[in-house]
Amino acid sequence: MKKRTIYITNYDRKRLEELITSYRPKKLSKEEQNLFDLLEGRLRRSEIVDWREIKPTIVTMCSSVRLKSLTDNETFNCSLVFPEDANPNRNKISILSYLGISLLGRHVNDVLKLKSSQGRKHFVINTILYQPESNGVCSL
């Protein structure tokens, strides 16, 4: 199966690079450093597009999606947010998490493969419930 291109908007890239830069002077745990390295790698490997041209089937920052577990067929909704807005109890997933990084730039119907303390988990992106860019929301 051919890997699909990961797309990130120019605006999201700018904000994520600022986030990474703001954490550089801080002492990070090994896990936190791993997450930053993964996020930087995602940014390097992604194709950057103007926010007005991103397809509505791609997960961007502040998007809300419906995921389906391929293990038990359970579905749940979550939103991809910046760390300061994260709230697991309200299904607001930080970009600085394995799930958050996996979601960024992915397409509807993509399968996410994650390691967790309970073993490997597989999710499919069923639908995008809300994407800011397709609703004209962005300020540069």
Please tell me whether the overall predicted TM-score, pTM, comes out greater than 0.85 for this model: yes
Options 3.40.50.11540, 3.10.50.30, 3.90.180.10, 3.40.50.1360; which CATH number does 7-135 get? 3.10.50.30
In the chain, DSSP finds a helix count (H) and a strand count (E) of 3, 7
Query: CB–CB of 7/53 below 8 Å?
Result: no
The residue ranges of every structural domain in the chain are 7-135
Query: CB–CB of 103/91 below 8 Å?
Result: no
pLDDT at 140 over 50: no
pLDDT at 75 over 70: yes
Query: CB–CB of 48/8 below 8 Å?
Result: yes
With bands split at pLDDT 50, 70 and 90, how would you rate the model's confidence at 71?
confident
What one-character-per-residue DSSP string does 23-43 give? HTTS---HHHHHHHHHHHHHH
